[in-house]
C-alpha cells in the first residue's frame, strides 16, 4: 500500500469504460491521498458496457454496479461531456494532473481494405453495434433492413452478437435495452438468410462457447453448418485452448443436425471463406469470397471463388483506437505506442487503447491494476492544480460538463421511460440528455 501524504496525487483518466474504472478502483485501493477525475466525451459513463455489450447480455452489463462503487468514492469524480483532443488537449491535462491515463478504448472499425467497401449497405460493426445500443454517434445510421440476405464478416464474438441481434424476435428482446429505433427496423425486417463468414476454420473461430451456443437457441432462426467443414476432433489445437475449442466444436457438431426448414431465418455459419470484393453499383448487391484452407494457422487462398448475393455486408473484423494529438500512436497495432502501459513521463494507457481490442471485460481488471501500480511507483504529488485547474479551464472555454449526479438523472429518466420488461429506454441524443439534467 502506497500512502501519499500532503498535496494529493492528481490523476486524470480519459475514458470511463471498464479499463478506466478498473484503473480508478486499483488506484483508490492502493493510495490514500489521491484524487481521480474520470473524463468522458459522452454525458454517460461506462463506455462499452453501455454502448458495446449486446443489449440481450444484461448480466454482463450488471458489472456497472461495481464501477458505481468506485464512482461513489469521495476522491473520484466523473466528468462527462468533455472531449479530450477537441474540447481540451492532452497537453492541457498534463499541465494540470500528475498522471494522465488514456483509457479511451478502440471505438473505430478496422477497414476490410476491399474494392467496393464504400458502397451503401457495407456497415462496420462499431457503427451497427453503436446503432442498436443507442450510441449518440450512430443513432442516425438508419440501415436498410428491408432485405432478405445479410452477410456478416468475421468469426469473433462481435460478429456473433450482430447475427444474433438481427435474428432475435421482439419477444426474445423484450427484457433488453435494444434501441427503440433499432427494434422498429429489426423486428419488421424480412430477413431470411444471415451468413456468418469466417476466413479460417471452425477451430480457429474466435467466438467463445457461450456466445456460439446461444446461436443454437434462437426462436425464429436455425444455425446451419456444412458438415464437410466440421472436423471430428481437435487435432492441432493448442493444449491451452483444448477446453474452449472442444466446447465450440460440440456446439458446431450439434448444428450439423439442424435443417433449413425448421425456422424462418437460416443462419449459415461458414468457414474457409475470405472476402475479396464487394459487388454492386452505389448499393451492395453481393460479396465475392475466395475459398481457403488453413496452413500452420494461416489462411491460404485456393484460387476458387463464389458469390453470395446480399444487400447488406456487416464487417465485424476488429477495432482500433482513436488517435489523440499529443500521444504517440501506433497505426499498425491501432493503439497508443506504449511499454506495458507506460507512454512517457506522466502519460499512461490501459485497456484496448493500450493493447488493442482483445479479451473480455474482465481482462481490463489486471490491466487496470498493473497501470495503477506503475503510476504509484513512478509519480509523486507536485504543485499541479488538478481538479481546480480543470474546472477553471472548462469554465474559460464555456464547456458544459456532466457530473455523476447528472448521469444518475439521465439514468433515472431512462428507467422511468422503459416499457414492459425493458430495463431502460436509452437516450440516443446528447441534447436530450443535457435537457434532463437542466
Ligand atoms: P475478434 O475476436 O478479434 O474477431 C475478429 C474476426 O474477424 C476474426 O474471426 C478474424 O479472423 C476476422 N477478420 C479479421 N480481419 C479480417 C479480414 N480482413 N477478412 C476477414 N475476416 C477478418 O474481434 P471482435 O469480434 O471484434 O471482438 C473484440 C474483442 O471483444 C474480443 O476479445 C471478443 O472476445 C470481445 N467480445 C466479447 C464478447 C463477450 O464476451 N460476450 C462480446 C463481444 C466482444 P482471423 O481470426 O482469421 O484473423
CA-based nearest residue to 302, from 312, 314, 315, 290:
290
Q: Which atom of ligand 1 is nearest to the CA of 57?
A: 41
Distance from CA of residue 384 to its chain's centroid? 34
How many whole angstroms separate alpha carbon 56 and alpha carbon 175? 8
What is the pLDDT averaged over residues 4-9? 78
Using CA atoms, how far apart are residues 266 and 194, in angstroms rounded to an integer?
A: 6
Mutate to test the pocket of ligand 1, among 156, 164, 360 (most ligand atoms within 8 A of CB): 156
Say whether pLDDT at 135 is over 90: yes
Cβ neighbours around 387 below 10 Å, total? 17
Q: Give the other-Cβ count within 10 Å of 183's Cβ.
A: 18
Give the residue among 429, 64, 120, 165 at the shortest CA–CA distance from 280.
120
Q: How many residues does the chain have?
A: 438
Pick the atom of ligand 1 nearest to 211's CA. 41
Atom nearest to 204 CA in ligand 1: 46
Instruction: State mean pLDDT over 183-188.
Output: 98
The fraction of the chain above a pLDDT of 90, given in percent, is 98
- Cα–Cα distance between 20 and 196 in angstroms, integer? 32
275 lines ligand 1 (CB under 6 A): yes
Per-chain mean pLDDT for the chain? 97
Q: Is residue 2's pLDDT more than 70? A: no
**Residue 1 confidence (pLDDT):** 39
pLDDT of the residue at 117 = 98
Q: What pLDDT shows up at residue 347?
A: 98
Average pLDDT on 26-34 reads 95
Calculated CA dihedral for residues 152, 157, 161, 164, nearest 10 degrees: 80
Q: How far is the CA of 156 from the centre of ligand 1 (A)?
A: 4
Distance from the Cα of residue 100 to its chain's centroid: 22
What is the distance in A from the centroid of ligand 1 to the CA of 53? 14
Average pLDDT over residues 58-83: 97
CA distance 6 to 227: 68
CB 206 near ligand 1, within 6 Å: yes
Q: If you measure from the C-alpha of residue 54 to the centroid of ligand 1, how many angstroms do you get, rounded to a whole number?
A: 15
| Minimum-distance ligand 1 atom for the alpha carbon of 125 | 26
Ligand 1 pocket member 297 (CB < 6 A): no
Three cell numbers, residue 325: 494529438
The full DSSP string for 18-65 is HHHHHHHHHHHHHBSSEEEEEE-SSSS--THHHHTS-TT-HHHHTTHH
Long-range contacts of the stretch 139-143 (C-beta < 8 A, 24+): 139/179, 139/181, 139/428, 139/429, 142/181, 142/185, 143/185, 143/312
Quick: pLDDT tens for 249-276: 999 999 999 999 999 999 999 999 999 9
Task: Please tell me the residue having the least CA distance from ligand 1 atom 26.
Answer: 318
Ligand 1 center–CA 317 separation, angstroms: 5
Q: What are phi and psi of 204, to 5 degrees?
A: -95, -5
| Pairing assessment for the beta strands 273-280 and 284-295 based on DSSP bridges | antiparallel
At 222-246, the pLDDT tens digits run 999 999 999 999 999 999 999 999 9
* Residue linked to cell 473520484: 76
Q: Is residue 384 over pLDDT 50?
A: yes
- For ligand 1, atom 23: residue with the closest CA: 318
Find all residues with CB under 8 Å of 176, minimum gap 6, and list them: 55, 56, 58, 422, 423
Residue nearest to atom 14 of ligand 1 (CA): 317
Ligand 1 center–CA 282 separation, angstroms: 28
Q: Is the CB of 347 under 6 A from ligand 1?
A: no
What is the arithmetic mean of pLDDT over 208-233? 98
Q: Is the pLDDT of residue 186 over 90?
A: yes
Q: Which residue, judged by its Cα, is nearest atom 40 of ligand 1?
A: 360
> Please, are residues 316 and 79 in contact by the beta-carbon 8 Å criterion?
no
The answer on pLDDT for 4 being more than 60 is: no
Average pLDDT over residues 410-437: 97
> What tens digit of pLDDT does each residue of 304-347 get?
999 999 999 999 999 999 999 999 999 999 999 999 999 999 99
Look at phi and psi of residue 292 and say left if phi exceeds 0, alpha if psi is from -120 to 50, else beta: beta
Contact predicate 314/337, CB 8 Å: no
Nearest CA to ligand 1 atom 42: 157
Q: Is the CB of 155 under 6 A from ligand 1?
A: yes
**For residues 181 and 257, is the Cβ–Cβ distance under 8 A?**
no
Distance CA 313, CA 336 (A): 29
Ligand 1 pocket member 278 (CB < 6 A): no
Ligand 1 probe mutation, 154, 213, 292, most atoms within 8 A of CB: 154
Q: pTM value?
A: 0.96
What separation in Å is there between the alpha carbon of 361 and the centre of ligand 1?
A: 14
Question: Is the minimum distance from the CB of 154 to ligand 1 under 6 angstroms?
Answer: yes
Instruction: For residue 258, report the distance from its CA to the centre of ligand 1, in Å.
Output: 25
Task: List the beta bridge partners of residue 283.
Answer: 120
**The pLDDT value given to residue 5:** 59
**What is residue 6's predicted lDDT score, i.e. its pLDDT?**
79
Residue 7 CB neighbours (<10 A): 14
Domains and CATH numbers, the chain: 9-107+321-437 (3.40.50.720), 109-316 (3.50.50.60)
Residue with more model confidence, 41 or 2: 41
Q: What per-residue confidence (pLDDT) applies to 371?
A: 98
Does the beta carbon of 153 sit less than 6 angstroms from any atom of ligand 1? yes
Amino acid at each position: 500500500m502506497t500512502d501519499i501524504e500532503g498535496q494529493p496525487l492528481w490523476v486524470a483518466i480519459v475514458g470511463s469504460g471498464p479499463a478506466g474504472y478498473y484503473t480508478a478502483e486499483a488506484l483508490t485501493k492502493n493510495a490514500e491521498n489521491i484524487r481521480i477525475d474520470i473524463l468522458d466525451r459522452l454525458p454517460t459513463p461506462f463506455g462499452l458496457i453501455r454502448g458495446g455489450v449486446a443489449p440481450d447480455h444484461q448480466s454482463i452489463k450488471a458489472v456497472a454496479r461495481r464501477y458505481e462503487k468506485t464512482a461513489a468514492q469521495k476522491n473520484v469524480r466523473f466528468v462527462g461531456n468533455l472531449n479530450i483532443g477537441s474540447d481540451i488537449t492532452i497537453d492541457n491535462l498534463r499541465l494540470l494532473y500528475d498522471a494522465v491515463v488514456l483509457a479511451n478504448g478502440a471505438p473505430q472499425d478496422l477497414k476490410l481494405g476491399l474494392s467496393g467497401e464504400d458502397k451503401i449497405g457495407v456497415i462496420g460493426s462499431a457503427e451497427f453495434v453503436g446503432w442498436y445500443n443507442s450510441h449518440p454517434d450512430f443513432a442516425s445510421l438508419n440501415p436498410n433492413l428491408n432485405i432478405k440476405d445479410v452477410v456478416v464478416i468475421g468469426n469473433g464474438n462481435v460478429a456473433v452478437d450482430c447475427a444474433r441481434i438481427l435474428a432475435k424476435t421482439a419477444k426474445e428482446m423484450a427484457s433488453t435495452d435494444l434501441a427503440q429505433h433499432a427494434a422498429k427496423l429489426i423486428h419488421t425486417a424480412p430477413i431470411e438468410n444471415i451468413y456468418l463468414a469466417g476466413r479460417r476454420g471452425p477451430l480457429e473461430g474466435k467466438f467463445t462457447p457461450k456466445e456460439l451456443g446461444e446461436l443454437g437457441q434462437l426462436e425464429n432462426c436455425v444455425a446451419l453448418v456444412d458438415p464437410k467443414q466440421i472436423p471430428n476432433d481437435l487435432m492441432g489445437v493448442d493444449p491451452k485452448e483444448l477446453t474452449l475449442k472442444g466446447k465450440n466444436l460440440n456446439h458446431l457438431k450439434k448444428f450439423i443436425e439442424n435443417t433449413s426448414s425448421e425456422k424462418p431465418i437460416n443462419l449459415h455459419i461458414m468457414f474457409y471463406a475470405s472476402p475479396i470484393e464487394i459487388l454492386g453499383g452505389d448499393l451492395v448487391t453481393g460479396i465475392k469470397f475466395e475459398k481457403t484452407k488453413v496452413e500452420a494457422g494461416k489462411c491460404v487462398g485456393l484460387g476458387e471463388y463464389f458469390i453470395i448475393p446480399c444487400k447488406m455486408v456487416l464487417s465485424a473484423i476488429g477495432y482500433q483506437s482513436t488517435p489523440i494529438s499529443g500521444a504517440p500512436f501506433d497505426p499498425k497495432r491501432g493503439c497508443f505506442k506504449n511499454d506495458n502501459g507506460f507512454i512517457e513521463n506522466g502519460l499512461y494507457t490501459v485497456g484496448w487503447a493500450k493493447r488493442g481490442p482483445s479479451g473480455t471485460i474482465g481482462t481490463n481488471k489486471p490491466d487496470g491494476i498493473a497501470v495503477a501500480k506503475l503510476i504509484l511507483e513512478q509519480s509523486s504529488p507536485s504543485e499541479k492544480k488538478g481538479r481546480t485547474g480543470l474546472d477553471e479551464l472548462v469554465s474559460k472555454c464555456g464547456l458544459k460538463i456532466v457530473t455523476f449526479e447528472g448521469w444518475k438523472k439521465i439514468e433515472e429518466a431512462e428507467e422511468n421511460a422503459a416499457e414492459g420488461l425493458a430495463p431502460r429506454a436509452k437516450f440516443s441524443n446528447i441534447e436530450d440528455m443535457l435537457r434532463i439534467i437542466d
